[in-house]
Amino acid sequence: MNKFLIRSLLAATAGLTLVAGGTSCTKDLDQLPKYELTPDKVYVDLNGYKQVLAKLYAGFATTGQKGPDGNRDIAGIDEGTSDYIRQYWSAQELTTDEAIVNWNDPGIRDWHSMSWTPSNVLVTGLYNRIYFEIALCNEFIRESSDEKLGKRLSGDAATQARKFRAEARFLRAVSYMHAIDLFGNGPFVTEADPIGTFQPPYYNRQQLFDYVESELTALSADADFAEPRTNEYGRVDKAAAWAMLARLYLNAEVYTGTARYADAATQAKKVIDAGYALNTAAAGNVASAYGRLFLGDNDRSPAKNEIIWPVVLDANRTQSYGGTTFLVNGSTGAAANWQKLVGQTTGWAGLRTTKALFSTFADTAVDTRANFWVKKEDGSLRTPEIADPYQFEDGLGVIKYRNVNSDGSSAGSAQNFSSVDFPMIRLAEVMLTYAEAAVRGGGDKTLALGYVNQIRARAYNSPTAGQIGASQLTLDFLLDERARELYWEGYRRTDLIRFGKFVGGSYVWPWKGGVQQGRGVEEFRRLYPLPATDLAVNQNLKQNPGYK
């Protein structure tokens, strides 16, 4: 297929909107534009199916129909802010000890102060983005039924379209999984539901969990779903399904009240044995082996051998103000040497981290994952302390994502945007999932220790430095190790909730709850509220406890 999803065609199809049925009753989630094309005009051959599948993948990377700004997918929120990754990352990171932002956009300061309400524009935008993606996937699955494929395609074309359908089911399951994690409960709709505006039924967290589990399990055995490492880069396969099942089971006790750690370990082990490999090759003087995973050419070997599912981004062809553009530019200041290091010609001066993340690193001079910016614009040194959360130079900068290639060249000509592919799933995360499941009683602790020490050997660029013994492999250690390895990749809120440290006062961090020293916050903050806009028009929905 000549990598049709990768970069060029993904961009070319970004304007293709086919939503013949909303997932909520809020005016079809304010989706724009409305019905520009109809199924009979698009699903006429395999190429039509390819183009819409590309749009499903693009739903995680782009925001509208005309590059970074124009004919947005969802209304009621600034288009650049509405990006899937940007909103998901913000909900998962800006609410924790790993990130803080000094901007004053509507609703953004509620993340770190943990004071969001059902009317928060960003909470609403996140919810709408998730359900917009579900709507896109539902439409594709509906139009790729066996009955419709039998009328439109034949032979190899029909076979390929069924493979596309399996990928759409995976992407839909991931979006529902995000809904489970963030909102717990909510509307439920599939391709079997009526086309057009209607009031979807309310599903509780257990019901949504059961659905996602059943979909991912079915895909794991589906002959139409690609075997591990046989699909094109940027497209998903059975290893991705196993990895998401492992993540689902790791959090099952939070989601359902029933622990599933043995299941998490089983699924994680399948991924680990599927032929992926930790990247251990540094990029010369440009980046360490770890840092190479987050460069503009991480779609190439050896970095791509660790990335199981990337959201593909390109500075020239998939431009948005979300994705890794948000992470590169948002965390960069005005200093010319800072901008040169990350490969950009502009800095938005907003994102940085708190002392809590910095403190998890025992030796920032040796652990190559500790990528912090420590200089102020005047050349003096920053400190980890944040006296004023709304001053960009208070706290340390983060330079994890860099829009340069492994040879030091610029990644793309449009240096206001990023070509760094965002790793939705990578091997190191799966190895840490196995390790935690094992320590919680679901796997082999000796095997788990080996996985952790492989990760740390890469981090310390040494087969001996940084290695731990069996007695050190504890849950507290693993929570910190996940922070060191996975910071700014969108895991932290979920991790803190699973470890019982997100709400309450047993663990606080700078400016948690809007207080400099941090404070305990209400238990109900473990879930976000369903948006007031959806509750107003769908009588089937129920607000999450604690919100009015």
The predicted structure's pLDDT at residue 415: 73
Q: Name the pairing type of β-strands 372-373 and 307-311.
A: unpaired
The predicted structure's pLDDT at residue 66: 77
User: Which 8-state DSSP code applies to residue 381?
Assistant: B
CA distance 127 to 431: 30
Over its C-alpha atoms, the chain yields an Rg (Å, rounded) of 22
- pLDDT tens by residue, 285-328: 999 999 999 999 999 999 999 999 999 999 988 899 999 999 99
The predicted structure's pLDDT at residue 8: 36
The predicted structure's pLDDT at residue 414: 67
Six token digits for residue 3: 């990598």
Reduced to 3 states (helix: H, G, I; strand: E, B; else coil), residue 294 is helix
CA distance 521 to 502: 8
Q: By the 8 A CB rule, do 210 and 36 touch?
A: no
Q: Which residue ranges form the domains of the chain, and what is each CATH number?
A: 8-225+530-535 (1.25.40.390)
Reduced to 3 states (helix: H, G, I; strand: E, B; else coil), residue 253 is helix
Name 377's Cβ contacts closer than 8 Å, sequence gap at least 6: 333, 334, 335, 393
Q: By the 8 A CB rule, do 419 and 314 touch?
A: yes
CA distance 317 to 7: 6
CA distance 301 to 305: 6
- pLDDT tens by residue, 339-373: 999 999 889 999 999 999 999 999 889 999 999 99
CA distances from 128 to 65, 83, 200 (A): 17, 11, 14
Instruction: Give the residue ranges of the chain where pLDDT is below 50.
Output: 1-35
Judged by phi (left if over 0) then psi (alpha if -120 to 50, else beta), residue 379 lies in: left
Judged by phi (left if over 0) then psi (alpha if -120 to 50, else beta), residue 312 lies in: beta
The predicted structure's pLDDT at residue 263: 99
Q: What angle do CA 404, 345, 369 make, to 5 degrees?
A: 40
Nearest CA-CA partner of 481 in 458, 447, 503, 511: 458
CA distance 221 to 383: 51
CA distance 297 to 405: 5
Q: By the 8 A CB rule, do 55 and 14 touch?
A: yes
Q: By the 8 A CB rule, do 324 and 417 touch?
A: no
Which residue reads 């770890």 in tokens?
290
Q: By the 8 A CB rule, do 515 and 175 touch?
A: no
Which value, to the nearest 10 degrees, does the dihedral of the CA atoms of residues 402, 283, 424, 483 take?
A: -80
Six token digits for residue 186: 């909510």
Six token digits for residue 392: 């960009």
